[in-house]
Amino acid sequence: MLETIGKPGGPRIVICCGSGGVGKTTLSAAIGLYGALSGLKTIVLTIDPARRLADVLGIGEFTDKARPVPLDSFDNVSGELHAMMLDAKRTFDHLIDRYAPKDMQPHIFSNRYYQHLSENMGGSHEYMAMEKLYEIHHQGQWDLIVLDTPPSRRALDFLDAPQRVMNLLGHPYFMKIVRPKSRVGKLGGRVFGLVMTPFLKAMSQVIGKTAMEDLVSFFSLFNDVLLDGFEKRARGVASLLSDSVTAFVAITTPRAYPLQEAGFFYRRLEERGMPFHGFIVNRVHQADSPADVDALFLELNDKKVLPPEVIRMLETSYKRFSRLAKSDKKVIDQFRNEIGAEIPILEISMENDEVADLESLYRIGRRIVGDEK
């Protein structure tokens, strides 16, 4: 998978989708490291940075500024690896800063709806991840960008951009109803003369009058000062994502929940003709099952090679592990049937320990790319 990284015509952007806790950040870093060691100037963007991974990378901690990963433990490195954390709220504020006239900005920043939206409303983090990706890509200083997406289904909402972004902000439906009846006061940033139609009146009975006013003033501000900039931007993001410089991969483990999420990502990408490169199933337990293990235990007992308790322990642990390996294989086979044989599904076997150093990270990167000399 991603065999062309570091070769002419290879991907410039790799987007890793998947639910949380499957090792997405680690695999993103492994892909990034592989890119760097293939001579590319690489940056890994992550949303959910693990302390331990920061240690492995030797960067102290992830921050919203790109930090270089020291690669001195490798010989003849011509590329670079940088790591950076995404800060959704700050990116959102940055956008307002860019597109809204200076005198309107305080009204937007102080709008309770904006505050809620930019801090924790579903979808805004995901959109901001894409926004940041677009910005960084257009800085033009990176050969390879690896993006570790937020772990939610909404991570792909931007695919319907620009409509989706507008929907995300609730814009079109709202404006249709509210627009002709409201005007934004330039001074207070609040709504003047909102004519309450029976519809709006009833609606505010349901959600409350204050919430209604906040919504209306946010969308009115949005419409007046931000719409053009946002739309243009969203269209740019959408076309970048469907371009062949971009490669999507879905990361999962052999468990029901993450597989279901990976399947969901794949179908959404497929529907929109996005460049999907395949699935990586991480943490697969692979047991060697020789036919005559039972004979081995008999032999160990006969020859008293080990104390009986220890032999029993070995037998139990082997049975358990085989059971797990069988269970892993079963769910992956099921998944393969569901998805179809033509889509690559790469298995990464469960390491014997947590990833502890750059060498093991590089090994995983080589395994993903199929470069295991």
Partner 1 sequence: MPTDAIQKDIAKLISRRLVFVMGKGGTGKTTLSSALAFAAQEAGKRVLLVETEEGTAIGRIFGKTDLDGMPVQVSMGISIARVKPKEEMTAYTQFHVKSGFIAKRITGSRLFDYLATATPGLKEIMSLGRLWRWESERLEDGRYIYDIIIVDSPATGHVLNLLRLPKTLINMIRTGPIVSQVKRLDALLKDTSRTALALVSLPEELPVKESVELMSIANDEINMPVQIFFLNGIYPDLSASCKPQSACDIVFSDTPGGLYDSVSNQRAMGAVLAAARHQHTWRGVHEKYIDHVNAMASCPVVEIPFFFTNDMTLHEIRRIAKNWHTPPEIQGGVPHA
Distance CA 90, CA 118 (A): 9
The answer to whether the CB of 43 falls within 8 A of the CB of 68 is no
Is it true that the peptide bond before 162 is cis, omega within 30 degrees of 0?
yes
- Here's the x/- map for partner 1, 317-346, by CB under 8 A: it reads as xxxxxxxx--xx-xx---------------
How many degrees, rounded to 5, is the angle at CA 185 between CA 183 and CA 189?
A: 115
Rounded to the nearest 10°, the torsion over CA 111, 117, 118, 124 is -150
Of positions 38, 42, 182, 204, contacts partner 1 by CB under 8 A: 204
**Interface with partner 1 by CB under 8 A: which range of 132-140, 167-175, 233-241, 242-250?**
167-175
**Number of residues in contact with partner 1 under rule CB under 8 A:** 80
Residue 236 or 263: which CB sits closer to partner 1?
263
Residue 94 or 112: which CB sits closer to partner 1?
112
Of positions 3, 228, 354, 357, contacts partner 1 by CB under 8 A: 354
Q: Which of residues 4-23 bind partner 1 (CB under 8 A)?
A: 19-22
Q: How far is the CB of 337 from partner 1 (least distance, A)?
A: 16
360 binds partner 1 (CB under 8 A): no
DSSP letter (8 states) at residue 11: -
DSSP letter (8 states) at residue 170: T
Q: Which of residues 171-190 bind partner 1 (CB under 8 A)?
A: 173-174, 177
How many CA atoms does the CB half-sphere of 149 hold within 13 Å? Answer: 28
Q: Nearest CA to 64 among 39, 47, 81?
A: 47
Distance CA 5, CA 242 (A): 18
Contacts of 271 (CB under 8 A, 6+ apart): none
**Interface with partner 1 by CB under 8 A: which range of 48-56, 155-163, 268-276, 365-373?**
48-56
Q: Nearest CA to 28 among 242, 258, 238, 251?
A: 251
Tokens of 100: 């809204």
Q: Which of residues 116-155 bind partner 1 (CB under 8 A)?
A: 116, 120-122, 151-152
Q: How far is the CB of 114 from partner 1 (least distance, A)?
A: 12
Q: How far is the CB of 191 from partner 1 (least distance, A)?
A: 16
Of positions 258, 265, 277, 281, contacts partner 1 by CB under 8 A: 258
52 binds partner 1 (CB under 8 A): yes
Residue 98 or 323: which CB sits closer to partner 1?
323
Q: Nearest CA to 152 among 258, 72, 275, 289?
A: 258
Q: Which of residues 70-109 bind partner 1 (CB under 8 A)?
A: none
Q: How far is the CB of 38 from partner 1 (least distance, A)?
A: 28
**Interface with partner 1 by CB under 8 A: which range of 30-38, 66-74, 112-120, 137-145?**
112-120
Distance CA 19, CA 205 (A): 37
DSSP letter (8 states) at residue 41: E
Q: Is 61 helix (H, G, I), strand (E, B) or coil?
A: coil
**Interface with partner 1 by CB under 8 A: which range of 38-46, 92-100, 185-193, 350-358?**
350-358
How many CA atoms does the CB half-sphere of 154 hold within 13 Å? Answer: 14
* Length, in residues, of the chain: 373
110 binds partner 1 (CB under 8 A): no
First to last CA, the chain: 16
Q: What are phi and psi of 347, to 5 degrees?
A: -100, 135
**Interface with partner 1 by CB under 8 A: which range of 5-13, 59-67, 78-86, 349-357?**
349-357
Residue 73 or 289: which CB sits closer to partner 1?
289
Percentages (nearest 5) of helix, strand, coil residues in the chain: 55, 15, 30
Q: How far is the CB of 214 from partner 1 (least distance, A)?
A: 7
Q: How far is the CB of 183 from partner 1 (least distance, A)?
A: 20
Q: Which of residues 261-320 bind partner 1 (CB under 8 A)?
A: 261, 285, 287-290, 292-293, 295-296, 299-300, 303, 305-307, 309-310, 312-320
Q: How far is the CB of 176 from partner 1 (least distance, A)?
A: 8
